[in-house]
A and B are shown apart, each in its own frame.
Chain A
Amino acid sequence: MSTKQEYLIRYKDGNLYCELADIWIDPRKPVKKALITHAHFDHFTFGCEEYISTKETAILLKERVGDNIKIKTFEYEEEFKINGIIISFHPSGHILGSSQIRFIFAEEKWLISGDFKLQKDDTCKQYEIVKTDYLISECTFGLPIFKWDESNKIANDISKWITNSPEKTSLLFCYSLGKAQRLLNEISQTNFKGNIYSHGSIHKMNNSYRELGIDIKDTIKIENKKKIDELKGSLILLPPSLSKGSFLKNFKNIQTAFASGWMSIRALRKRSGYDKGFAISDHADWDGILEVVKKSEAKNVFFHHGDSEALSKYLVKKESINVLLFGK
């Protein structure tokens, strides 16, 4: 078995790094060359000399941070070479434009899963099974207590939650990019036919999705001086950052909810401070991670993002898969 130094991709200063290509993956510090798996801010940092991503990710990033960054883009599956290493993006099903990244060098395949999910999501490309020798996977929800319900069931629950309190304004907190659009898409297929408002940050992303050819229901941008009566019985999508602070004082008679995979656990739901939690996630659940590990046919697996202790032990004991640890 190869030692840490010989790995094609390793951890360096807390980031994934490929020394042979001198390229970083989703670095959290400014570097020369950065591969970006998707446009969430915890996978991106300012100040890199060059970014490389899918076309959709590049457009979303520029929409969020401005045109002032240098991004090279590639289509899914399109192979490109850096220092003799063949690199390609593959759909990861997390959000629009999100990708897994495959490296091929000297007959050895490496796959970085990026953030991914297998569940149905009409607002982005379905996860693609990619075969690999080495797999670096996220494991945000790496415990078997995480088992997602179908997203249309959650959407129906949300619809019921709103319509059961017609005298209230329902504030649903969710990430502005990806989760919000997926929810809009699902909610528009439920019985809820009232008005949907969204915060500026979400509104902007909706427009970008539409420009990229994704059919997203039109929402009304929430302005500061809306008449309170008008909002009765309607749904407002807001980013989680607004849940604490004075913003909520703009509304009267509200009920709040948070859409996140963590909400499947009662203790976390109670601690979150929201009235209600809807367990819907853009990350894979336990079964999802296991499926990807198995179908990728990887002989060696690394985990990052999340507590992987139980998952690793399970794979080693039950599936005889070699789980490796990164030296940090």
Chain B
Amino acid sequence: MSLKNFSELFGDLDSINSTNNKIEVLKNYFLSNDPIDNSWAIYLLTGKNNKRFISGRYLKNLFSQIYEYPKWLIDTCYLKVGDSAEVITLLLKNKTNSRKKKLSNISLNELLSETIPALSKLNEEEKNLEIKNLWETLPEDNHLIFNKILTGTFRVGVSIGLITKSISKLINIEEEIISHRLMGDFKPSIDSYEFLINKNINLQELNSKPFPFLLANTIEDKIFKNSINDFQFEWKYDGIRLQLIKRSGNVSLWTRGQELVNESFPELVEKMSHIKDDFVLDGELLVWNFKEQIPFDFSLLQKRINRKSPTRSIQIKYPVIFIAYDLLEINGRDIREIKLENRRIELEKYFSKWKIKTENNISDIFKICDLIFPKDWTDALDYKEKSRENNTEGLIIKKKTSIYSSGRKKGIWWKYKVDPMQLDAVLIYAKGGSGRRAGLYTDYSFALWKDKELIKFASAYSGLTNIEIKELDKWIRKNTIEKFGPVRSLKPEMVFEISFEKIQISKRHKSGIAVRFPRITKWRKDKKINDADSLENAYELMKKIS
């Protein structure tokens, strides 16, 4: 089985939009290739290798050095392509017409278990020569894969979920089971692949399955006609929704996306396994500010999500907490059909018991959510407006008599979110995007007035539609004042409504303020630049909040 098959798989996955077709293509690949190559394919596609052998910059420099190619030209090409491995692949088409014998039959396994590991044993000069040699001997249609493996940039729109689904289809076993098997260290080998496609399910796998999640709807006006006493109020946290399952001694953490994330949060798994009872909890995972007893921003949580087996220091730097808001199963008894108010009683009861009875202190990593008790709906509105103070997004309102059903069912849970803060700002710089947005100006900087000067206050790149992006890109090219590398300064003319979640003083910025999660919410074509907001408006906004 050759590397070529994998290159073709990569090309196919890249060109197919439909999820079902992707699954079909993957299934067929697994059926027609060796277990060892399949195992490597899974390893690469699921991003189990986050190791990069050399950086994109190194790759570009190496190409420039070997073929005496101007660096500025490679950089210009990069702006159009947005991916180092691909730029070099395209440029190599001009270079590798050598008559060297081609390695047409190299397998994925050979490349990954022999050729590339051998490279790392060489000194830099030998390594560079060997990469050149491989460029010239690998068939051209394998260059992209090779360069991507070298630079560790494997993104083809194949999630772990897609691999899970295709293996589930292949052997006709539920996805949750496959998910469980894909958890943990995946060492590519015939055995690891055979284990994945084993048709016999063991008990532990069965025990890890989560319940379907119940989701909240956006608030509806009619709810305000009801008595406030019919509802339970909680803060709406901006974390990761999790079902924390402990059955027969084993803890599993499931996200809403059916992903098992035990590996990212080992300290939580460890602590929870000390609790004597078995249970299924529904709740939110957050990085917690223990001093102020409020969550940190989601951005800190992101530092944990994608990091498997975090070091002790990472665990200390970004301490997580699981806040449970519901109990769904206790010691094997499914209680989802019990009313919410009664489930809450159970939750509180067990939580107090666990706090006292569990040997290791669990309260530094696990608590249950506090309830809020507004007097009436005006009071609820007040709470909502105050939610920024404790770094939450608003309120979650739950009907006390509701059962835990599945999906976005109406009339059970509602989210009552605080509105974002907004300012109208002037577009002053644009920068080329990368990846899918390569060749387009998609990273924008916005400014506010200070006297007669425009001062940069935020950068944003999300919020415009594809059509708007293209239109703006055209405008940017025609209205450039100056180019600094990939950045263009622009004629101040376009006004955009920028929304953000938080505003605070910052000494690092010229504007003196920093905002969180700025994004474009409207292209204000109706506004002239003189209508844009000033820094003073921003300061006022800040005062109003604190």
Which A residues have a C-beta under 8 Å from some C-beta of B?
Answer: 143-147, 264-271, 275-277, 286-287, 309-310, 313-314, 317-318
Q: Which of A143, A271, A277, A318 is B80 in contact with, Cβ under 8 Å?
A: A143
Check A267/B82 contact, CB under 8 A, given A310-B73, A310-B76, A313-B72. yes
Q: Could you show 11 A-B contacts with beta carbons less than 8 Å apart?
A: A145-B80, A146-B90, A147-B93, A265-B80, A265-B81, A267-B81, A267-B439, A269-B14, A269-B15, A271-B466, A318-B70
Check A144/B91 contact, CB under 8 A, given A265-B439, A267-B437. yes
Residue ID in chain B nearest A264 by CB atoms: B90
Residue B200 at the chain A interface, CB threshold 8 Å: no
Residue B87 at the chain A interface, CB threshold 8 Å: yes
Residue ID in chain A nearest B144 by CB atoms: A266
Q: Which of A145, A267, A313 is B436 in contact with, Cβ under 8 Å?
A: A267
Residue B77 at the chain A interface, CB threshold 8 Å: yes
Tell me which residues across on chain B come within 8 A of A314, comparing CB atoms: 70, 73
Within the assembled complex, what's the spacing in Å between the Cα atoms of A267 and B86? 10
Check A145/B437 contact, CB under 8 A, given A269-B15, A314-B70. no
Within the assembled complex, what's the spacing in Å between the Cα atoms of A313 and B73? 9
Q: Which of A268, A275, A277, A313 is B439 in contact with, Cβ under 8 Å?
A: A268
Check A143/B76 contact, CB under 8 A, given A265-B439, A267-B435, A271-B436. yes
User: A275–B466 contact, CB under 8 A?
Assistant: no
Within the assembled complex, what's the spacing in Å between the Cα atoms of A270 and B436? 7
- Least CB distance, B88 to chain A, in whole angstroms: 10
Interface on chain B toward A: helix, strand, loop, or mixed SS?
A: helix
- Least CB distance, B516 to chain A, in whole angstroms: 29
Tell me which residues across on chain A come within 8 A of B81, comparing CB atoms: 145, 265-267
User: A275–B77 contact, CB under 8 A?
Assistant: no
- Least CB distance, B260 to chain A, in whole angstroms: 29
Q: Which of B16, B77, B435 is A145 in contact with, Cβ under 8 Å?
A: B77
Which 3 pairs across A and B sit closest by C-beta, in order of nearness? A267-B438, A145-B90, A147-B93
Residue B17 at the chain A interface, CB threshold 8 Å: yes
- Least CB distance, B404 to chain A, in whole angstroms: 40
Within the assembled complex, what's the spacing in Å between the Cα atoms of A309 and B73? 10
Tell me which residues across on chain A come within 8 A of B77, comparing CB atoms: 143-145, 310
Would you list which residues of chain B between 13 and 28 have a CB under 8 Å from chain A? Answer: 14-17
Q: Which of A265, A275, A276, A313 is B438 in contact with, Cβ under 8 Å?
A: A265
Within the assembled complex, what's the spacing in Å between the Cα atoms of A268 and B470? 12
- Least CB distance, B70 to chain A, in whole angstroms: 7
Contact flags (1/0) for B81-98 with A, using CB distance below 8 Å? 111001100110110000
Residue ID in chain A nearest B470 by CB atoms: A271
Within the assembled complex, what's the spacing in Å between the Cα atoms of A267 and B70? 23
Within the assembled complex, what's the spacing in Å between the Cα atoms of A144 and B89? 11
Within the assembled complex, what's the spacing in Å between the Cα atoms of A277 and B11? 11
Tell me which residues across on chain A come within 8 A of B435, comparing CB atoms: 267
Q: A144-B91, A267-B436 are in contact. List 17 more A-B contacts (CB 8 A).
A: A144-B73, A144-B90, A145-B81, A147-B90, A147-B93, A147-B94, A265-B90, A265-B439, A267-B82, A267-B439, A270-B14, A270-B436, A276-B15, A277-B15, A286-B94, A313-B73, A317-B70
Listed residue (B14, B16, B94) with the most chain A CB atoms within 10 angstroms of its CB: B94
Tell me which residues across on chain A come within 8 A of B83, comparing CB atoms: 266-267
Within the assembled complex, what's the spacing in Å between the Cα atoms of A287 and B16? 31
